């Protein structure tokens, strides 16, 4: 008898965005003429930068000739991309990360989901609440949690993030082994200061813990004084892994390219307390289970770091931040409390009511899709998330509809 991994039975519900898609599809079926504007999932809506397209075409042409054809590449990624990423994203900001500490992959979702398999199943895991669901669900699947009860999994440490701490969790009083941090944050759109990250690095050193730092939205930070990478914090290279993605930076959501930084000095421990190199462990895992991102995709990603590419991605992020401003101001005019949307493409709005109820109301009355905060954790109840990834006209139309509906209903 083939028996399933029993931990899958603990998973509370379908993946959040699958549930939303199903509800939207049902609504569309019942209301075929409704012109639904989607501000739920964070999917890019602009074409790839011209620099990437040129590099893509050129490298596809290379595949058309025996002399320049590429077969399997290095599992860790081609040096040209690793070197460009190290230079532009890290050394330029004073963080001493070298190209061979970067592992190119096909997505930060896979990497943030897969990394946990390097750690013991009895590791104590902490996540912020609200949280990007991948961190939680992959630890549930791996058996690192207890059962689901009253909106939470047993055994997980939830770092409550709310208005009182500006949705930025501080290190807990208790020791944990593994902590997921995400800044700029999905879903709340908030950012962490250097002082906060210094406290986290200090905590991780003290408890011999590891920080998994998801910086998928780093390209949206507009204040140079804010840390763009955790490696700007001294000592972070011993206690932190960082995840980056080209998805929201350059529109690679469909093209797929990302990377994970594991400094060679980053430590983890065997049961007897002896040190192990996390870099070597991930390299072992990566070379066993992954065969690299395609050559044309890596060439296209490399072009992000060309002078033209950097200019283009800056203006793409500026465009979406312009959308975010419209959303922010729209809700502020309606008298609602709004977070995020300044260094992030996500806007976190306090609805004051049940977040799935608000989602349904907005869908049925304004034909606008948002993401219910409760889907990101118990602390997300009473909030909804709006994504700024859309055409300007769609954002303006959505906000006009929302204002109409909410003004008529008295919010
Ligand atoms: C915080 C965060 N990390 C990772 C990802 C996934 O990125 P990728 O498209 O590289 O898999 C997302 C996508 O929405 C995200 O919000």
pLDDT per residue over 51-82, tens digit each? Answer: 999 999 999 999 999 999 999 999 999 999 99
370-389 average pLDDT score: 96
176 lines ligand 1 (CB under 6 A): no
Query: Separation of 274 CA from ligand 1 center, angstroms?
Result: 33
| Whole-number average pLDDT of the chain | 96
Cα angle, residue 232 at apex, residues 74 and 200 outer, rounded to 5°: 105
Mean pLDDT along residues 322-327: 98
Ligand 1 contacts CB of residue 253 (under 6 A): yes
Give the distance (Å) from ligand 1 centre to CA of residue 108. Answer: 5
Return the residue whose CA atom lies nearest to atom 16 of ligand 1.
186
Q: What local confidence, expressed as pLDDT, does residue 17 receive?
A: 80
Query: What is the percent of the chain with per-residue pLDDT over 90, rounded to a whole number?
Result: 94
Atom of ligand 1 nearest to the CA of 247: 9
Q: What is the mean pLDDT of residues 394-398?
A: 98
Tokens of 252: 């690679």
Q: Are strands 157-160 and 267-269 parallel, antiparallel or unpaired?
A: unpaired
Q: Is the CB of 247 under 6 A from ligand 1?
A: yes
pLDDT of residue 18: 82
Distance CA(373)–CA(165), nearest Å, equals 17
Q: Is residue 301 lining ligand 1, measured as CB closer than 6 Å? A: no
pLDDT at 15 over 70: no
The sign of the CA dihedral 327, 160, 111, 313 is: positive
Q: Which two tokens stand for residue 322?
A: 């312009």
Taking residue 333's Cβ as centre, other Cβ atoms within 10 Å add up to: 12
Q: Are 330 and 341 in contact (CB under 8 A)?
A: no
Q: Is the CB of 245 under 6 A from ligand 1?
A: yes
Using the atom order of ligand 1, give the atom closest to the CA of residue 245: 10
Q: For position 42, what pLDDT does the model report?
A: 80
Radius of gyration of the chain measured on its C-alpha atoms: 21
Question: Which ligand 1 atom is the nearest neighbour of the CA of 253?
Answer: 9
* DSSP tag of 97: -
Summarize the confidence of residues 369-376 as an average pLDDT. Answer: 95
Q: Give the residue, out of 186, 190, 386, 389, with the most ligand 1 atoms within 8 A of its beta carbon, to mutate for a pocket test.
A: 186
- Ligand 1 atom closest to the Cα of residue 42 is 14
| Whether the CB of 258 sits within 6 Å of ligand 1 | yes
pLDDT of 383 reads 97
User: Which pLDDT value is given to residue 411?
Assistant: 55
Mutate to test the pocket of ligand 1, among 16, 105, 132 (most ligand atoms within 8 A of CB): 132
Q: What is the pLDDT of residue 410?
A: 66
pLDDT of residue 41: 84
HEC string for 247-296: HHHHCCCCCCCEEEECCCCCEEECCCCCEEEHHHHHHHHHHHHCCCCCHH
Distance 182 CA to ligand 1 centre (A): 10
Q: Which pLDDT tens digit goes with each residue over 214-239?
A: 999 999 999 999 999 999 999 999 99
200 pocket-lining for ligand 1 (C-beta < 6 Å): no
In the predicted model, what is the mean pLDDT of residues 291-317? 98
pLDDT at 30: 95
For residue 27, the model assigns a pLDDT of 95
- State the pLDDT confidence band at 43, using cuts at 50, 70 and 90: confident
3-state class percentages of the chain: helix first, strand second, coil last, to nearest 5: 45, 15, 40
Ligand 1 pocket check for 42: Cβ under 6 Å: yes
Q: Are 199 and 171 in contact (CB under 8 A)?
A: yes
Lowest-pLDDT choice from 32-46, 215-229, 243-257, 337-351: 32-46
């Amino acid at each position: 008898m083939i028996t399933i991994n029993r931990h899958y039975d603990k998973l509370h519900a379908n993946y959040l965005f699958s549930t939303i898609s199903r509800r939207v599809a049902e609504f569309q079926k019942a209301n075929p003429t409704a012109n639904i504007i989607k501000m739920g999932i964070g999917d890019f809506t602009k074409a790839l930068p011209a620099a990437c397209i040129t590099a893509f075409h050129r490298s596809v042409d290379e595949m058309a000739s025996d002399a320049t054809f590429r077969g399997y590449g290095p599992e860790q990624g081609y040096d040209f991309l690793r070197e460009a990423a190290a230079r532009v994203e890290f050394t330029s900001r004073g963080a001493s990360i070298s190209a061979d500490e970067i592992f190119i992959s096909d997505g930060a979702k896979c990497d943030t989901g897969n990394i946990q398999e390097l750690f013991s199943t009895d590791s104590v895991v902490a996540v912020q609440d609200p949280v990007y669901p991948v961190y939680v669900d992959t630890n549930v699947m791996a058996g690192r949690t207890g059962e689901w009860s009253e909106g939470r999994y047993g055994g997980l440490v939830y770092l409550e993030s709310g208005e009182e701490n500006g949705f930025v969790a501080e290190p807990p009083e208790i020791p944990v082994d593994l902590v997921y941090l995400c800044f700029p944050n999905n879903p709340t759109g908030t950012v962490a200061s250097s002082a906060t990250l210094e406290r986290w690095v200090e905590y991780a050193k003290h408890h011999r813990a590891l920080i998994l730092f998801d910086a998928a939205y780093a390209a949206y930070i507009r204040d140079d004084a804010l840390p763009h990478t955790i490696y700007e914090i001294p000592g972070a290279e011993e206690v932190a892994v960082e995840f980056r993605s080209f998805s929201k930076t350059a529109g690679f959501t469909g093209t797929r390219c990302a990377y994970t930084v594991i400094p060679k000095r980053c430590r983890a421990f065997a049961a007897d307390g002896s040190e192990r190199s996390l870099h070597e462990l991930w390299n072992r895992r990566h070379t066993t289970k992954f065969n690299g991102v395609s050559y044309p995709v890596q060439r296209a990603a490399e072009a992000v770091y060309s002078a033209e590419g950097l200019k283009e991605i800056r203006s793409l992020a500026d465009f979406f931040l312009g959308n975010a401003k419209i959303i922010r101001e729209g809700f502020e005019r309606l008298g609602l409390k709004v977070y995020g949307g300044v260094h992030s493409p996500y806007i976190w709005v306090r609805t004051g009511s049940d977040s799935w109820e608000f989602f349904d109301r907005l869908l049925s009355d304004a034909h606008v899709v948002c993401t219910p905060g409760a889907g990101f954790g118990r602390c997300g109840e009473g909030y909804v998330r709006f994504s700024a990834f859309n055409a300007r006209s769609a954002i303006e139309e959505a906000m006009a509809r929302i204002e109409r509906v909410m003004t008529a209903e008295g919010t």
